[in-house]
Amino acid sequence: MKVAIMKGFGGPEVFEIETRPDLIPSNDQVLIDVKAAGINRPDVFQRKGNYPAPSGTAPDIPGLEVAGVIISIGPDVKKYKIGDEVMALLPGEGYATQALVSEQVCLHKPKNISFEEAAALPETIYTVWDNIFDRGQLKAGEHVLIHGGTGGIGTVSIQLAKLFGAVVYTTVGSQEKVKVAEELGADIAINYKTQDFVEVLKENGVDVILDSIGGDYFGKNIEVLKEDGRLVYINAMKGPKVELNIMKIMQKRIVLTGSTLRGRGKDFKSKLTKEIETNILPLIENGKFKPIMSKIFPFESVSDAHTYFESPDQFGKIVLKMNS
């Protein structure tokens, strides 16, 4: 198999394509002939040396999501068979033409989407379902604020929150991205470079906030949340250290939570997989929801893909397409 390995930490140029031995499934694992692999921000963090791979995962091969065809199965596999088209969430090693994963964290690929679209889904839909709907407990009719609305997580969050009946607000970084967010279903899209989201939303208030920004957004989030609001963190791009006024948390009865997904165990991810099969796959199959992709790169151009990922113009998801 071919793999995109990091020869060290640094910029996109650290990637090289190598050949390594084919993989062999055991226990409940399926072996996937990978047709496409998604790129996510944790891959960039890993490339820069800021996000080590979990124990048991190759430290030099990023990649958290793939789509492809099962070509071999372990002896304990019950749900899938050779030839099935699937998409899967991985703890790493997704930048490769083969991937091993437990069948418990595989999803059947809907027939109405491509392998590239399927590869853009697992990391985002697992993250969004866990944090907005499980942790955030978003309900129909509530108001949700999604920071970074045109990123991979953001484009999925806007669509799903709207489909489940929420009023959706989002922050983005340009007027062009305001239009993208509104087309996805955002009721109000705020250009954070020209507007203060607190000023725009303070009269409406917000029930749930999904934040990947951190830093000075923390106090602003507290300000705009309604009583019994839920603030959910999945990253802290502007810094993890914030000033917390405990009295405001108490007075508004705010629930403050957050999570990371990559290092969670198979049992937790298996539970999420079942919830996604029930709640999200039907929306994909009936055409109500699909991933938004800005660009597809050949697998050998992984360095170019990472360069584009870090550019201000990109939106939605970026995917690597294998030659096989």
DSSP output for 64-127: SEEEEEEEEE-TT--S--TT-EEEEE-SS--SBSEEEEEGGGEEEPPTTS-HHHHHTSHHHHHH
pLDDT of residue 324 exceeding 90, the answer is no
Each residue's pLDDT tens digit, 22-51: 999 999 999 999 999 999 999 999 999 999
Each residue's pLDDT tens digit, 60-96: 999 999 999 999 999 999 999 999 999 999 999 999 9
What is the mean pLDDT of the segment spanning 230-236? 94
Q: Is residue 90 within 8 Å of residue 65, measured between CB atoms? A: yes
Tell if the pTM clears 0.85, that is, is over it: yes
pLDDT band of residue 236 (cuts 50, 70, 90) is: confident
Q: Output helix, strand, coil percentages for the chain, rounded to the nearest 5.
A: 30, 25, 40
Q: Is residue 221 within 8 Å of residue 231, measured between CB atoms? A: yes
The encoded tokens of residue 11 equal: 């910029």
pLDDT over 70, % of the chain: 100
CA distance 306 to 227: 41
What is the mean pLDDT of the segment spanning 105-134? 97
pLDDT band of residue 218 (cuts 50, 70, 90) is: very high
What is the mean pLDDT of the segment spanning 193-202? 96
pLDDT band of residue 189 (cuts 50, 70, 90) is: very high
